[in-house]
Amino acid sequence: MFNFEKLDVWQKAVALADTIYLQTRKFPTEERFGLTNQMRRASVSISSNIAEGSFRMSQTDFARFIEIATGSVFEVTSQAFIAQKQNLLSEEEFLAIYRGTEELSRMLSGLRRSLLPS
């Protein structure tokens, strides 16, 4: 087992990506290279950056990868708003994604603060 697999934040990021894949499966085919692809790539980027950053030589480097992961969380959130406005996500589906991104944002913020010198 790799160390990043033990991180709750990484596990939550993988769970969010799973949710995004499930929800975007029902998007129309014309969105395959648009919103579907964007949401999937951004959601996968979150856990990927956590994993990659966890093996950097310094905590400052790791914190930078956490910052990048946080940016991807915000991308997914913004894209979920657009998907909802386009009637691709129901209110319930949108809220599930939104709650997940809110939680990840808080967790990533806390992790980043713990990595940087006071």
pLDDT at 47 over 80: yes
pLDDT for 118: 75
Q: Which two tokens stand for residue 54?
A: 């966890």
Q: Does domain 3-115 have CATH number 2.60.40.10?
A: no
Burial 60-83 (b: 16+ CB within 10 A, else e): eebbbbbebbbebbebbbebbeeb
3-class SS of residue 14: helix
pTM metric for this prediction? 0.95
- List pLDDT tens digits, range 7-30: 999 999 999 999 999 999 999 999
